[in-house]
Amino acid sequence: MNLQTKLRELSKEKKAILAANFYNFETLHAIVSGAKAEHASIILQLSESSIRYMGLELAAQMAKTALRGSGVEGWIHLDHGGSIDLVQRCLDAGFDSVMIDASERSLEENIKISKEVVRRAEKYGANVEAELGYIAKLHQSQDPAGFTQPGDAKRFTEETGVTALAVAIGSAHGFYRQEPKLNLELLGEIKAAVHTPLVLHGASGIPDEMLVSAIRKGITKINLATETKNAFMRRLKEELIHTDEIDLRIVFPKAIEKTRELIQNKLKVIS
Ligand SMILES: [Zn+2]
């Protein structure tokens, strides 16, 4: 099943799928084995910086091979694609799904760029996610002025034909300095205005009950990145303090295990 069909089905059932970013073999392994243990489907995400870090072909092939080997139903997705050029390279490399993030442009420009990505992705049968409104990037705070407006969302989805829409309703990337507060009323209004499955970015640090409420109100895809890095690196540090072990194949599995637990817990919350 392609991802756009999966998202539409989940959206109708008011259910959600976890989309987790991976950064290396270890975090990929943690995510896929977590999904397998929970019998869950999963979206494996690569950001532009992770693609630069691992190399596009290697990262994509590694993710595909991990899914095939585990029997987990999953898809490879480009997270926050900053240019049509990068999107095109990912489509050529066999990604199932791409995000074009032109959220910092004007509505008109965002529509134009996203529409072009939809046109290109069509040939590949790929899912296209775009962002409307502005979700705070790392170390920024979310400004309610950047929240997604239901009228704009309706126009945007109708004119672009995107098959997933990332909405700005109060979440932010990175960890939260204050208790996050999602505007669920606004989410309900956006959901009523569009037929496109909705995506929540910046799920790291959002309390479980709030995530569940967001799913009930119409979020279909939940993006998780920061908590994964945090779980992996903190556990790794803990381990390194206590040991002089240099065999990374003995040390890394502790961090993989911790990350797998995090993924399993998230999957339990959102299922
Ligand atoms: Zn994001």
- Among the listed residues 79, 96, 101, 244, the single catalytic one is 79
Report pLDDT for 241: 96
Measured CA to CA, the distance from residue 167 to residue 129 in angstroms comes to 10
Per-residue pLDDT tens over the stretch 154-173: 999 999 999 999 999 999 99
Give me the phi and psi of 269, to 5 degrees please. -65, -45
- Considering the chain, what percentage of its residues have pLDDT values greater than 70? 100
Measured CA to CA, the distance from residue 6 to residue 118 in angstroms comes to 18
Q: How far is the CA of 201 from the centre of ligand 1 (A)?
A: 5
Report pLDDT for 192: 98
In order of start, what are the domains of the chain with their CATH numbers?
3-270 (3.20.20.70)
**Would the pLDDT of 234 be above 80?**
yes
Report pLDDT for 32: 99
- Is 101 marked active-site? no
Report pLDDT for 230: 98
Per-residue pLDDT tens over the stretch 188-226: 999 999 999 999 999 999 999 999 999 999 999 999 999
Environment of ion ligand 1 (residues, CB < 5 A) = 201
Per-residue pLDDT tens over the stretch 67-89: 999 999 999 999 999 999 999 99
**Would the pLDDT of 256 be above 80?**
yes
**Would the pLDDT of 51 be above 80?**
yes
Report pLDDT for 138: 82
Q: How far is the CA of 12 from the centre of ligand 1 (A)?
A: 23
Report pLDDT for 144: 85
Give the contacts of 214 (CB within 8 A, at least 6 positions apart). 169, 182, 184, 187, 200, 206, 222
In the predicted model, what is the mean pLDDT of the chain? 97
Q: How far is the CA of 138 from the centre of ligand 1 (A)?
A: 9
Report pLDDT for 179: 84
Q: How far is the CA of 200 from the centre of ligand 1 (A)?
A: 8
Confidence grade of residue 247 (pLDDT, cut at 50, 70, 90): very high
Q: Which residue has the higher pLDDT, 177 or 211?
A: 211
pTM here is 0.97
Q: How far is the CA of 244 from the centre of ligand 1 (A)?
A: 37
Q: How far is the CA of 175 from the centre of ligand 1 (A)?
A: 12
Q: How confident is the model over 23-29, as a mean pLDDT? A: 98
Q: How far is the CA of 169 from the centre of ligand 1 (A)?
A: 13
Q: Which residue has the higher pLDDT, 45 or 142?
A: 45
Q: How confident is the model over 100-117, as a mean pLDDT? A: 97
Q: How far is the CA of 202 from the centre of ligand 1 (A)?
A: 6
**Would the pLDDT of 7 be above 80?**
yes
